[in-house]
Chain A
Amino acid sequence: MLREFFRVLLIGVALGLIFCGTFVVMSSLISACYAAEVTTEERVIDLPQDSEKWFVSVVGDAEDPQFQAVLQWFNEDEKLKDLKGAVHFWKIASNSTAYETRYKHNVKGLPTVRIQEASGAVIYEGVGEQIPASADDLYREISDSSTGRIINWPILNRPILPWRRHIERERNQQPSPAPCPGPDCAPVPPDPTVPPLSDGGPPQMDSGPSAGLVLALSILSLLGGGAGGLISQWRRTYRTDG
């Protein structure tokens, strides 16, 4: 009886392994085909509405190990890789023309990791030794700088200062282009397998505790403090000593 049970169990495990293996092989084949198609058939169908996209610049000497390490984080660390995919990412070597013309006069040292809004406002900048020693810490610093505060209530994020208001208004003016392919364009066959280019505005960063949690904790503390005070006062008033 026991032997029969183990035999059935063994068959079950073997079948499970076969199914899992087949699934893994099939899924990797499918992703390989898809990747090949995307890279060989790149064509613009939808214009990216990315005028609010952030910019990430990693600037440094190509030979500098710290510069190389930071670049590696952006290629390998899951969170930084996601961030890289959601922004305009620039790797700037200190011997490039881009460095000479756009960075040399405004970086404080090398390497530099700079995160900017589309307007150019710097959200985060780490230079040399200030750059955290791990990908996790770098992501956390960027995240902290980008949220700027624990609670992301719109009223707190609303630009109040006049010049911020002006910038906000400029940002919100989104044209709606009518690009090719269109009725008056030369024929460009659409390729439905190609996804639109990465659109969108600022990336979604993992922030601190949610506004709801903070609110709940605040209310709880308020109630707790109130109740404590009430009890203490009640005791003081009605306690009979001796």
Chain B
Amino acid sequence: MKRALAVLLLCVTCGCTPSRTPVIERPAVNVPMAFRQRNYTDSGSCVHATLITLLRWQGRVSDANRWRRDFQGGEWASSFAQKLDGRGIRYAYVTNGGVPFLEWACSTRRGCGITVKGGAHMVALVHLDDKWAAILDNNDVSKFTWIPRETLIAEWKASHGWAVTPVYSPAAPLPW
């Protein structure tokens, strides 16, 4: 009787769950190679390339392909918002360097485009935790680049603090 009770207690406290190894993806927005859009045109289309990558990650492949076909060149936050509005794309953005926006984008696994290099370039922010950030640069989509969190945030704030992302369902996490 005592043994049965002990087993029951163990079952309750341990949940009787077979131990599975959790798969924690790093970066959180683990964009597959096939979804990554390289920068295009001579004048540079980094904002568009970043958006296209994020749209594909969020399951909007047709929208992404149409965007690739129709838009190129440099962008301002306001003109870009107009284009997104024009296409009926659901999006969110900040231009005030608000770090909580970056945290929201990464914690919901959507990612976001952020300005760097004094505002001359945009890359995709694909991870942000207590210590580290990771970006996917559309000028070299072969790898994620890891940067200390504070360095990344300082760089972003010194680059006009513009961040933008489509707001759809992020890709499902890897199963475990």
Chain A interfacial positions (CB closer than 8 Å to B): 42-44, 47-51, 55, 57, 88-90, 96-98, 100-102, 106, 114, 116, 118-122, 125, 156, 159-161, 163, 167, 173-180, 182-186, 188, 197
In the complex, the chain B residue whose C-beta lies closest to that of A178 is B98
Secondary structure at the B interface, as helix, strand, loop or mixed, is loop
In the bound assembly, the distance between CA atoms of A174 and B173 in angstroms comes to 18
Which one of B16-24, B41-49, B113-121, B141-149 contacts A?
B16-24
- Interface size of B by CB at 8 A reads 47
* B161-172 Cβ-contact flags toward A at 8 Å (1 or 0): 000000101111
Q: What are some 13 contacts across the A-B interface (CB < 8 A)?
A: A44-B167, A47-B167, A55-B169, A55-B172, A88-B169, A88-B170, A120-B25, A179-B93, A184-B95, A185-B93, A186-B77, A186-B78, A197-B167
Q: Does B86 contact A (CB under 8 A)?
A: no
**5 closest Cβ contacts across the A-B interface?**
A120-B173, A101-B32, A184-B96, A175-B103, A88-B169
Known pairs A55-B173, A90-B59, A120-B173 / 5 extra A-B pairs, C-beta < 8 Å: A116-B175, A121-B176, A174-B107, A182-B96, A185-B96
In the bound assembly, the distance between CA atoms of A48 and B176 in angstroms comes to 25
In the complex, the chain B residue whose C-beta lies closest to that of A117 is B173
What is the minimal beta-carbon distance from A148 to any residue of chain B, in angstroms? 8
- Would A57 and B96 count as touching, CB distance under 8 A? no
Known: A101-B35, A160-B15, A186-B77. A120 touches B175 (CB 8 A): yes
- Would A185 and B172 count as touching, CB distance under 8 A? no
A102: chain B residues within 8 A (beta carbon): 32, 171-172, 174
- Would A51 and B107 count as touching, CB distance under 8 A? yes
- Would B59 and A98 count as touching, CB distance under 8 A? yes
